[in-house]
Structure 1
Amino acid sequence: MNNSLHNKKILIVGGSSGIGLAISKHAYKAGGQLIIASRNAAGRHNDLAALIGNGIETYSFDITSENETVSVMEEIGDIDHLVITARPEISPAPFAETDIKQAKQAFETKFWGQYQLIQKAQGHIRQNGSIILTTGIAGEKIFKNASTMTIINSATDAFCRLLAVELAPIRVNVVSPGFVAPKPPEVEAYAQQFPSGKIASPEEVADAYIYLMKNPYITGTSLVIDGGAILI
């Protein structure tokens, strides 16, 4: 079975910054036909093309909007791989002090947004294609002041396993990044305790997504990229 990404149509939602941008660069270099979608991707097309390469496609949509999600998927058409790295805005806070409206909005964006997107996109994903979700270290290890992301990440991990069964033969996996640069100095110092001795670069995390797209025998798996953070 050909596990090359050459000429594979790859949609990266949230691919205009951070880990998503790093995945976009890796996928483009691997020969993928790259499509980036986010709230502002189309408006940043020229900047993104300069960072990644000419020939990319960009679309702007709101992942929480059903109408916009349906419209963008109809415009994009069939794809081989769907990668979702959309991130919510949520301020760290003790559970008792967490703003419930902010927490609900975080769920709306990261969990229900991806739920809705996959419902609308799964009919566009070719056989032997894949979906890759993104969680994070707060789903693997308990941290104070991170109740919302702990619950969202844990729910996403279970969602992945369910989808791997229900959407087969489409493969569904999760990448769970640890601390990823850039981070404040205190986080950099904390990461020196990890077996890796440091936080990850976006490029190091992006490698995991490329691996999961290319390997045809991995599904229902959470790939933790944390430098050993959960071990301390």
Structure 2
Amino acid sequence: MLVVGGSSGLGLAVCRLAYGLGAEVIIASRSALDKHEELTATVGPGIETISLDVTSEKDVESALERVGTIDHLAVATRPPLTPSLFLQADLGQARQAFETKFWGQCQLIRMAHGRLAPDGSIVLTSGIAGERIYAGNFAMSVINSATETLCRALAVELAPIRINAVSPGFIAPKPPDVEARARRFPAGRVASAEEVAEAYIHLMESPYVTGTTLVVDGGARLV
């Protein structure tokens, strides 16, 4: 299993869970190779780490040559993006975020397609901002919505390879104001990264699920 964006946060939680279930885990990110010892201690011995910038075609090609055949590909990249109202936002930063999270994953999938096992799967990552609009998050709202549409389009075009997405809500740790907001959700709290990571494994292991966005948000969309 190849996890792109797997050296921290949600991607790292996916790696830990998959490794615990016996998967051969390869972690790829800009910092994964430099953090090899730390990631080995966190995930487990025997993992492979690869330096990868998804916006670089050369990087992607080099990484995929090292990986070989891929049974499951999880994409959990999250570009730095400062929350800002639309009229005050740095559009250059928003454009770069779109280049990384959306177009970067498009390039990655196109180049990885021939290396995916026929019964393999791809799991993308969107997020609550794609549906539940919060002021100051217009760029991530657009990126997440585009990712979910991409998921459905590729499920048709790349079949029989299955393409799904996970849409997380608020994941700990969060600032106090976000924690307070999450207490108003039906679940009454933010999620742990491990709770959301279970959704990725479910989608990888479910042979009849494709083109689906699995929401793990504690009911945030309901209130």
The TM-score with structure 2 as length reference comes to 0.99
| Structure 1 residue runs of 4 or more that deviate by more than 2 Å after TM superposition | none
Partner residue, 2:84? 93
Q: Could you tell me which residue of structure 1 aligns to residue 48 of structure 2?
A: 57
Q: What is the CA-CA distance between 1:141 and the residue it aligns to?
A: 0.9
Question: Is 2:109 the counterpart of 1:118?
Answer: yes
RMSD: 0.6
Give CA deviations for 1:81-111 in whole Å, capped at 9, x if unaligned. Answer: 0000000111111111110100110011100
1:115 counterpart SS class? helix
Helix, strand or coil for the counterpart of 1:33?
Answer: coil
Which residues of structure 2 form unaligned runs of 5+? none
Q: String of CA shifts for 1:133-170, please: whole Å, max 9, x gaps.
A: 00000002111111100110011100000100111000
Number of equivalences: 223
Equivalence for 2:35? 44
Question: 2: distance between equivalents of 1:74 and 1:17?
Answer: 23
* 2:19 equivalent among 28, 51, 59: 28
CA distance in structure 1 between the partners assigned to 2:141 and 2:172 by the alignment: 20
State the AA in 2 paired with 1:182.
P
Aligned-residue sequence identity (percent) comes to: 58
Measure the CA separation in 2 of the matches of 1:213 and 1:44.
Answer: 26
Q: Indicate the residue corresponding to 1:207 in structure 2.
A: 198
Q: Deviations over 1:38-73 (max 9, x none)?
A: 001011111101111101000001110011111110
Structure 1 gap segments, 5+ residues each: 1-9
1:186 aligned to 2:165? Answer: no
Q: Which amino acid is 1:14 matched to?
A: G
* SS of corresponding position for 1:43: coil
1:140 to 131, 135, 139: 131
Distance 1:100 1:92 in 2: 12
Is 1:171 the counterpart of 2:162 in the alignment?
yes
SS in 2 for 1:55: coil
Aligned match for 1:84, one of 62, 71, 75: 75
Q: What TM-score do the two structures reach when normalised by structure 1? A: 0.95
